[in-house]
A and B are shown apart, each in its own frame.
Chain A
Amino acid sequence: MLVPVPSAPLPPVPQTPSEPIVVARGLCKTFRVAEKQPGLGGTLRHFLRRRHRDVPAVTDVSFTIQPGEIVGFLGPNGAGKTTTLKMLTGLIHPTAGSATVAGHTPHRRQRGFLEAITLVMGQKQQLIWDLPPLDSLRVNAAVYGLDDTEARRRIDELAEMLELGEELTRPVRKLSLGQRMKAELMAALLHRPAVLFLDEPSLGLDVNAQARVRQFLVDYNRRTGATVLLTSHYMADITALCPRVLLIHGGRLFYDGRLAGLSERLAPWRQVRLELAQPLPAETFHSYGELESLDGAEVRLLIPRQRLTEVVARLLNELPVLDLEVSDPPIEELIGRLFRQGVVA
């Protein structure tokens, strides 16, 4: 059964321009990688004469995020998403550039900063494996200095939003992956952070659980006005949650804007599907656009956006067209292709 995915709600866009809550200015991170030949000889040689190679992971990434925005962070594996998130959460120092999150410099890791943010990592967990989530939540309440009544209130509130009940009193190891992720979210949000960094929060979850997590993030954002920066492999997460996306590729910011605009940027052409009265040879279509496929009387062409009207008119005039359909290549497919091939048009 598929749970209907809610249409993407618009974030509470502030009417007056306010101070951005996340600012990245020319962020760079270069990792120093030791060059070592394998084997004992290589180790010895490395010991005597160290050689390093600098590998840029993130280069000159700048953007700002307003309070309350939900922003999707896209890019193939190894593009620099996690490195950027780690710089914004203060887990690693930028090599160059600077970041400001909730008014703090992240890598100083001051208490005020740590209490204002949270990081959820889909493949890592902070809950205590052998104990019910409630115990981990109590630990976090103490760590963040919440008193018992306040902690109780927030736990109840989050449990209701996440539809968690008696699961909270069952050992974590006995929970399903989806229940565990929901409990992880509770642990990460108990201190009511203003900025949420989510790294693949729905990794490995089934479609149902993904949809629930998504719905929760939308509700949470609406209720608390929290800012969300999220990476995900599931395009559905991005299309449902993020009106704005950042696309990073090869460590550089490649796109920053509305999701719809991304497809124009990624695919400056549209797809035209024709059904003809009779099959025609492939050469016939060269003058109209790029031939994507030819299957008997069914033809798919790619046509640059700016020539679309003109070409469609010509097609209808010059060829025996029974049916014609113009479509945008689906964004999932474009990004999927981008991730697979690792190239940006």
Chain B
Amino acid sequence: MASDWRRYTRTLRRFWGTALAGQLEYQLNLLIELLAMAGNLAGSLFVLSLFYGNGSGGSGPGLGGWSWPEAQVVLGVYTLLDGVSSTLLRPNLSRIVTHVQEGTLDFVLLKPIDSQFWLSARTVSPAGLPEIAVGLALMLGAGLKVGARLDAATLALVAVLLLSSTVILYALWFLLATTSIWFVKTWNATEVLRAALAAGRYPITAYPAGLRTLFTLVLPVAFLTTVPAEAVLGRVSGPWALASLGVAAGFLLLSRAFWRFALRFYTSASS
């Protein structure tokens, strides 16, 4: 088992080393990414401010009982997650369909290493790193502004819940990407997912009851941003934190089982 661990960590180092080597050529890209991030964040903050009276000069109704800095914490978590998905998820998961289409999935399956690991961790893109940093800063900065007590225990809980959100996001995305084994064309379904996840920019209580249920039970947007933001503000409840971990574990196991299931079809049907 120890040698297994070594093989996987060494492989991961090589994966990401080669990925970074491939991207250093494109400094211009980095500049564009930075500009895009700044623009997106400014735009999101601006739209958010409209609910707090920026538009009318008054006080505004706010969002679902969240104060202006509290809502910024949610936006910070969203930005952080978006950065994680640009860094890790999109570069890897968007390739699965290409592997299926071009048949290079064969090479992956013939490697003495877990194929889901290979497909999910093959590459890394530094483009999302600034977004991660800015998201973290916004999340913690806005939290401090409302007097959140960021002691070690809180930070640890936040870290665990953020990890759990990342896992949920990854597993959802991987589940959809897996369907490309059968229907190459439904690849666009992941775009639908991404569009729907934009709902995570706002706290879950900012939505009408129907959407709130949808975003908690069907598409777990609530666990992606609201729950970690509550943890920053020191008010996440035990059941919600546990539910987040449970949902993450459930989706992760589901994505694994579904991938195994899909491979059975790939390996019995491809020609």
Contacts and interface: CB of A to CB of B under 8 A. Distances in A.
Interface of A: 31-32, 57, 82-83, 86, 89-93, 107, 109, 111, 114-115, 117-119, 121, 124-126, 128, 130-131, 135-136, 138-145
B contact patch SS = helix
B18 A117 contact: no
A124 B103 CA distance: 7
Contact-residue size bin, chain B (C-beta under 8 Å from the other chain):
20 to 34
A35 to B, nearest CB: 15
A279 to B, nearest CB: 54
Contact of B18 (A82, A83, A128): A128
A93 B109 CA distance: 13
B149 interface: no
B270 A139 contact: no
A208 B13 CA distance: 38
B110 A118 contact: yes
Contacts, number: 87
Interface in B1-29: 3, 6-7, 10-11, 13-15, 17-18, 21-22, 25
A142 B14 contact: yes
Nearest to A187: B107
Contacts of B21: 131, 135
A90 B270 CA distance: 12
Contact of B112 (A111, A126, A135, A136): A111
B7 A145 contact: yes
B267 A93 contact: yes
B151 interface: no
Contacts of B14: 138-139, 141-143
Q: Which of A90, A136, A139 has the most CB of B within 10 A?
A: A139
A126 B104 contact: yes
Given A82-B271, A93-B267, A128-B22, A139 B11 contact: yes
7 contacts: A31-B269, A31-B271, A115-B112, A124-B106, A138-B17, A142-B14, A145-B10
B145 interface: no
B268 interface: yes
B113 interface: yes
A136 B111 CA distance: 13
A46 B109 CA distance: 32
Given A126-B107, A139-B11, A93 B268 contact: yes
